[in-house]
Copies of this chain bind each other. A is one copy, B any other.
Amino acid sequence: MKLNCKSQMISLNGKLYPCTTSITMDIIGGKWKSVILYHLKDGTLRYNELRKSMPVVTERTLSLQLKQLEKDGVVYRKEYSGKPPLRVEYSLTDLGQTLVPLLEMISAWGDTLAEAGGEVVSNR
Q: Mark A1-44, 1 if CB is under 8 A from B, else 0.
A: 11101111111110011111111110011110011001100000
A23 to B57 CA separation, bound complex (whole angstroms): 16
Give the bracket for the number of chain A residues in contact with chain B.
35 or more
Nearest to A124 among chain B residues (CB) is B7
Contact A105 B101, beta carbon cutoff 8 Å: yes
**Is the CB of A88 closer than 8 A to any CB of chain B?**
no
A9 — which chain B residues lie within 8 A by C-beta? 56, 120-122
**Is the CB of A111 closer than 8 A to any CB of chain B?**
yes
Nearest to A116 among chain B residues (CB) is B12
A111 to B114 CA separation, bound complex (whole angstroms): 30
A112 to B16 CA separation, bound complex (whole angstroms): 16
Contact B18 A113, beta carbon cutoff 8 Å: no
Which among A9, A31, A115, A119 has the highest number of chain B CB atoms within 10 Å? A9
A interface residues with partner B (beta carbon < 8 Å): 1-3, 5-13, 16-25, 28-31, 34-35, 38-39, 52-57, 98-99, 101-103, 105-115, 117-124
9 A–B pairs (Cβ distance < 8 Å), ordered by A: A5-B53, A5-B107, A7-B124, A8-B123, A18-B35, A22-B34, A22-B35, A29-B29, A102-B109
